[in-house]
Amino acid sequence: MLANFVPTGDDYLRYLPEIIMVVAGTLVMLIEPLLGENKRTAFETVSLVAFVAALGAAIKANTIPGASFANMVIVDGFATFFTVLVIGVGILTILSSSQYLKREHAASAEYYALLLFSVTGQCVMATANELIMIFIGLEISSIATYVLAGYLRDDKRNNEAALKYFLLGSFATAFLLYGIAWIYGTTGSTNLADIRMFLLTPGTEHNVTLASTAAALMLVGFAFKVSAAPFQIWAPDVYQGAPAPVTLFMSAGPKAAAFAVFLRVFMTAFQPITSRWEPFVWSSALLTMIIGNFAALTQTNIKRMLAYSSIAHAGYVMVAIAAHNQIGIAAAMFYLAAYAFMNIGAFAVVTHFSRQGEKFVNIEDLAGLGWKQPVTAGLFAIFLLSLIGVPLTGGFFGKFYIFKAALDANMVWLAVLGLLNSAVAAYYYLRILVVMYMNEPGEATLSLQPLGAGLRTTLWASALGTLVLGIFPSVLLNFARNSSALVK
Amino acid sequence: MQNAVPMSWYLILSAILFGLGVAGFIYRRNIITVFMSIELMLNAVNLTFIAFSYTLRQVDGHIFSFFVMVVAAAEAAVGLAIILTVFKNRETLMIDDVSSMKY
């Protein structure tokens, strides 16, 4: 066993994406005092280069899969999928932030460093094979995101968002930790595979109740992090108050990573006690979909509406987890990728439209956008149609596979209720389309500047991703299917 | 060692502390007190880890509680900074006054 503690070259190679991003994040902060006026672009360049290098390293790591650092981390298809996804989210966030930071006069090294650290934490979560690593990754990601949510220090809404995110996030972490402590006490291990082995061993039946209690506590922690009901209260306020590009990031990256650990813990370690947690997950899924969709109906603020929509989408992924089969895991992976694209696209439009001080964030303000900037409006329409789940978009196949997984698990009623929920959702997304194309342009639309280069890249890349996943879903789905066998 | 405090006492104590933390988080109105309640919950977790680690004769739980302490310190640094900016902008530390986004 002792030889295991000396890391080999392969160990470091599997961990290279995280190393690159941490080094780059530190570097960005170190070079800030050395740079003059045109510093903003330098930070951007360094972080983009780091993200692209980390992306390459993550893809390279997939060629040498396996466990590293005495089983603390594991690189497999599932881990690579989420690592690539969150790094991609990081790249698109940087591209969409530059214009926003410039107009708020807030471009500084910390923003980019925090973004790099946050994505690092999410990569650690994606590759974690041990409850300690899950906790550390979750905290690296969360703490950096708390600061990002309140990035504009003098803005009241930013402060409030950061405070709520911080308090409720730490509260959730405490529950997760208490669950980990009990699972450690019950099974004597924090390694996911060992916990599973313990629960499978005959003669441990009297410990199942304790393990289920621990699983319930951890479920509370994860539900908070993915904003699943009844722990979704923080999401609307935080998404509305945080700077638009940070909301773009929060709704895609940390959420995907939280779902990654959720899936890994509950599909490996707690898989032997599925019958105990499954009822809680499906009831939470149902409640999340209903609360998200019905609350979104009445919103006038577009950020808040998209926040409720993001809660509803978390509900669909929870349906896939409740199905607790391999198709469900693959469907959740596919859905999270499609969701990242369409949601980043939608929030990029909000970032573009909101202007300085986020003046224009009401749905009514978008009136006439279809005539003033047809390209932006057209791309926004693609994202909205994908969020509804219209065929030929990634959102359609995402929902299709999730409901297929639910049907395979004999959860017909859950699939039916999910479909009914999607029908409700169509109403509030279509309302935006109506405002954009049917109403006369107002003051907000007429004063709109053309798209900046970074945002344009984000919008086109997200639209391309949404459409590719909608027209050729098998490309990604085959990979997801091949890597959905989490139990080794 | 035979007549030491039984294991279950530690666990009951930590459960009570955790429960107090949850209650404080929900019912207290001052942001600093709410934050202290979270710290109380984390310390309850540490106590649980140490108690289990002692019974299992393993060092894992000790290490885990060190990680929890380090992370709690980092969280406190960030959290207090956030609370400070909230206070500077609003001149209040009552959580009910920080609700500009409710409608």
pLDDT in tens, A416-430: 999 999 999 999 999
Query: Is A487 within the bounds of a domain?
Result: no
Q: Residue B103: its pLDDT value, please? A: 52
The per-residue pLDDT for range A64-75, each reduced to its tens digit, is 998 888 888 999
CA distance A210 to A72: 24
Mean pLDDT of chain A: 91
> Does residue A347 lie within any of the structural domains?
yes
CA pseudo-torsion sign A68, A74, A77, A82: negative
Q: In angstroms, rounded to a whole number, what is the distance separating the alpha carbons of residues A183 and A147?
A: 31
The yes-or-no verdict on residue A33 having pLDDT over 90 is no
d(CA A89, CA A103): 22
Residues in B touching A171 (Cβ below 8 Å): 25, 38, 41
pTM: 0.95
pLDDT computed for residue A4 by the predictor:
58
- Nearest CA distance, A227 vs chain B (angstrom): 18
CB pair distance less than 8 Å for B82 and A154: no
CA dist., res. B13 & res. B31, Å (int): 25
Beta carbons of B101 and A146 less than 8 Å apart: no
Two structure tokens written together for A405: 């997984």
Pairing of strands A73-75, A66-68: antiparallel
The verdict on residue A488 lying in a domain is no
Average pLDDT estimate for A5-24: 89
HEC profile of A117-180: HHHHHHHHHHHECEHHHHHHHHHHHHHHHHHHHCCCCCCHHHHHHHHHHHHHHHHHHHHHHHHH
Go through the domains of chain B in sequence order and give each one's CATH number.
Answer: 7-91 (1.10.287.3510)
B1 versus A273: the higher-pLDDT residue is A273
B98 CA to chain A: closest CA distance, Å? 6
- pLDDT grade, residue B2 (50/70/90)? low
Number of domains making up chain A: 1
Q: Provide the pLDDT for residue A121.
A: 96
Give the minimum alpha-carbon distance from B2 to chain A in angstroms, rounded to a whole number. Answer: 21
pLDDT at position B102? 63
A1 pLDDT band (50/70/90 cuts)? very low
Over 60: is that where the pLDDT of A3 sits?
no
- Using the Cβ of B101 and the Cβ atoms of chain A, whether some distance falls under 8 Å is answered with yes
Query: DSSP assignment, residue A201?
Result: S
pLDDT for residue A146 is more than 80: yes
CB of A160 closer than 8 Å to CB of B100: yes
- What span, in angstroms and rounded, lies between the C-alpha atoms of A382 and A461? 12
Q: Does residue A338 contact residue A469 with C-beta atoms inside 8 Å?
A: yes
B10: left (phi over 0), alpha (psi -120 to 50) or beta: alpha
Q: Does B44 touch chain A (CB under 8 A)?
A: yes
Distance (Å, whole) CA A331 – CA A334: 5
Q: Specify if A170 maps to a domain.
A: yes
Compute the nearest-CA separation of B6 from chain A (Å): 15
Residue A387, in any domain of the structure: yes
Assess whether pLDDT exceeds 90 at residue A388: yes
Report whether pLDDT(A270) > 80: yes
Give a yes or no: residue A53 inside a domain: yes
Query: What ipTM was estimated for this complex?
Result: 0.95
Phi, psi dihedral angles at A328 (to 5 degrees): -60, -45
Q: What is the reported pLDDT for A155?
A: 87
For A246-262, write each residue's pLDDT tens digit. 999 999 999 999 999 99
Q: Do A139 and B99 touch (CB under 8 A)?
A: no
Distance CA A446, CA A372 (A): 7
Put simply, whether B18 touches A (Cβ < 8 Å) is yes
Q: Does the pLDDT of residue A310 top 60, yes or no?
A: yes
Residue-number span of the structural domain to which A458 is assigned: 2-482
Quick one: pLDDT band at residue A368, thresholds 50, 70, 90? confident
Q: Closest chain B residue to A182 measured between Cα atoms? A: B48
Which residues in chain B touch residue A237, judged by CB atoms under 8 angstroms apart? 101-102
Q: From the list A132, A175, A188, which residue is nearest B67 (CB)? A: A132
Residue A163: predicted pLDDT: 94
How would you label A438-476 residue by residue, b for 16+ Cβ within 10 Å and e otherwise?
ebebbebbeebeebbebbbbbbebbbebbbebbeebeeb
Q: Do B45 and A136 touch (CB under 8 A)?
A: no
What per-residue confidence (pLDDT) applies to A108? 85
Q: What is residue A267's DSSP assignment?
A: I
Which residues in chain A touch residue B73, judged by CB atoms under 8 angstroms apart?
Answer: none
CA atoms of B100 and A159, how far apart (whole Å): 11
Contact: B67, A157; criterion CB under 8 Å: no
Question: Is residue A258 assigned to a domain?
Answer: yes
- Nearest C-alpha of chain A: how many angstroms from B89? 6
Q: Which helix (H) or strand (E) holds A430?
A: helix A412-438
SS (H, E, C) chain B: CCCCCCHHHHHHHHHHHHHHHHHHHHHCCEHHHHHHHHHHHHHHHHHHHHHHHHHHCCCHHHHHHHHHHHHHHHHHHHHHHHHHHHHHHHCCCEHHHCCCCCC
Q: How many angstroms from the chain centroid is the CA of residue A142? A: 12
Distance of alpha carbon A480 from alpha carbon A333, whole angstroms? 6
